[in-house]
Amino acid sequence: MDNTYVIIGGVAGGASTAARLRRLNEQATIIIIERGPYISFANCGLPYHIGKVIEDRDELILQTPESFKERFNIEVRINQEVTTINNDIKEVAIKNHITGESYQLPYDKLIISTGSMPLKPPIPGIDGDGIFSLWTIPDMDKIIKYIEKNKPKKAAIIGGGFIGLEMAENLENLGIEITLIEMADQVMAPLDFDMAQIIHRHISSKKVSLTLNDGVKSFSSEDGETIITLQSGKVIKSDLVILSIGIKPNSILAKEAGLTLNGRGGIVVDDYLKTSDESIYAVGDVIEVTNIVDGLKTMIPLAGPANKQGRICANNLMGAKEKYKGSLGSSVAKVFDMTVATTGLNEKQLLRQGKQLNKDYRMTVVHPGSHAGYYPGAFPLSLKVIFDLSGKVLGAQAVGYEGIEKRIDVIATLIKFKGTIYDLKDLELTYAPPYSSAKDPVNMAGYTAENILNHSMDNILYQELEQLDLNDTIIVDARTPYEVKYGKVDGAINIPVDELRNRLDELDSSKLIVIYCAVGFRAYLSTRILMLNGFTRVRNLAGGYVTYHVVSRDYTGNNVNTLNDEYISCETVEENNVFSLNTCISDGKEPLAAVYEKIDNLQDGDILEIKASDPGFSKDIEAWCGSSCHTYVKSHKYDDSYVVTIIKGE
């Protein structure tokens, strides 16, 4: 049996391969070559140490060369870099960056776990002072040192991916003013635009200035500031710049060794993680994988798959024939107060594959509470599920504040075992009022998807509204008149669901009826009333007005404008009356409808403190105050809810 195993790269996949190898073979010689000073560190935690959420730097270092040697009898050579793979003689050339020495190391089997590296395009001035990427612990140390020395007041983050958004939150924690610049039309690429808009609203409510659809043209320096010139000509000044433009596989060694790569530079491996060279295996971000949903080859650089691949690779090196069955791309991220999670395919990927909405796939969007509404602390949750016409679940996305990753993990498990939306509705999930509802959001998505496929309800997406022939369409708003005052779809007529049966004669049954409410349930009831009364062309707006409203707004720029930084209360404004309103418990109606009803009974100058479960409500009511001549004062977190303060009148 082979005896010497050399592993290039000591993080995630490399460390997992090494540890598993030792558990299977006590006699093998196992050597990890790591060009950096650390192995097996928690790179996902780096932004949180910068933001002082993780206070102890040592908590990020999961293993050291010494601990690896002591526990596993594995030799780890840090600050040493493999410069060449001589696969014809099964030997690697190594340079010791501490001593400057170069030497050769033979192997019986070689494992490449070189991971990925940040993209750094040839933008003029990109190597200037105060411009950083974050990928390793030394990168983190440089940023912390720069912040401590220069005390920046303004930071620009280039790129709205995981690291970019995490850095926005953590730098904001340090009191730094944030500008986020993204070349695409949205942040968080795994999300579709309608779900990403919820994130746009949330980060803009945190006083982050958001720029979309605009890339960086150049960097320059002036009086200690970095001058960022965008492609549009817009100029932004910043004291600190964090690059989070994207990543690419670190496959230079593999390419020079003649190993087969894909078009994106990923190492091509077989089902057993073996490369085109019989003696070389590869794991982690650097390899091409199969997408479990569609069977296509792709790149999915995530820690979870890398660790699983390391275990399977070690098993196969020891004689097993265990296949790596592919990746789903399940991911989760914290964005300020929000959680974002995804699994499987999104609409953008399907469209790039030439798939067509309604012909090849359908989707549903639901906005239930994170748990029973009558139990305190329920937060709104947006869940989008994509499925094909046979009912097979293709992917899901969720955004909210509580229980987000739980729902996506359930759906990811279902996709792994080739489940359908019918399985989704039948899942028996745990329930108690503090944790869920008797009909869990996952079940609700299954119910609505089933209604779509069995034609008891047909939905229409927000982007399809623009394609409608308005001469052949009637748009019906099934909400209450108070809710309609908050805003409505252009051209909609208001027929509340409870009045619909008595007002059927107001609708032309020969026309397409598009009906919506706040989140979709009342519109579904209206749809059934119409269909059971002979209306054959009825469609329910997916996600209701909640989705339509958030998608149709512009959250770019920094238009947060509070009167002051202190919370106004009874104690601070004694000359005014202060009233309270709790909108946390509702039957799907927008909180602003309750605000309308309440404020009608107040006098100019009265203060209204509104308790809501959605931090995004602050952004909505701020805009409403500006258009309805009331004064937005402040929003703040209070226990398990958010309190927004407004004053009636200007």
| Residues involved in catalysis | 44
| Element housing 80 (H / E) | strand 80-86
Q: Per the structure block, which two tokens stand in for 112?
A: 């490449």
* Helix, strand, or coil (residue 600): coil
The candidate with the shortest Cα–Cα distance to 113, out of 140, 167, 76, is: 76
What long-range pairs does 310-313 form, CB within 8 A, spacing at least 24? 310/12, 310/13, 310/14, 310/15, 310/16, 310/17, 310/18, 310/19, 310/20, 310/113, 310/283, 310/284, 311/16, 311/17, 311/20, 312/272, 312/273, 313/13, 313/17, 313/20, 313/111, 313/273, 313/281, 313/283
Kindly report the CA angle at 434 between 483 and 406, in degrees rounded to 5?
A: 90
The candidate with the shortest Cα–Cα distance to 624, out of 601, 590, 575, is: 590
How far is Cα 223 from Cα 353, in angstroms, rounded to an integer?
A: 49
Place of tokens 């139990």: 375
How far is Cα 250 from Cα 266, in angstroms, rounded to an integer?
A: 8
Contact 349, 361 (CB under 8 A): no
Amino acid identity of 243? L
Rounded to the nearest 10 degrees, what angle do helices 193-205 and 162-173 cross at?
Answer: 10
Q: Per the structure block, which two tokens stand in for 309?
A: 């691949």
Q: Report the Cα–Cα distance between both ends of the chain, in Å, rounded.
A: 82
Amino acid identity of 171? L
DSSP secondary structure code for residue 457 in this structure: S
How far is Cα 411 from Cα 401, in angstroms, rounded to an integer?
A: 18
How far is Cα 76 from Cα 18, in angstroms, rounded to an integer?
A: 10
Q: What is the DSSP pairing of strand 289-290 with strand 116-118?
A: unpaired
Phi-psi region of 130 (alpha: psi -120 to 50; beta: other; left: phi over 0): left
Q: Per the structure block, which two tokens stand in for 271?
A: 């089902």
| 420: Cα separation from own chain's centroid | 24
How far is Cα 425 from Cα 414, in angstroms, rounded to an integer?
A: 11
Half-sphere exposure of 432 (CA within 13 A, CB side): 2
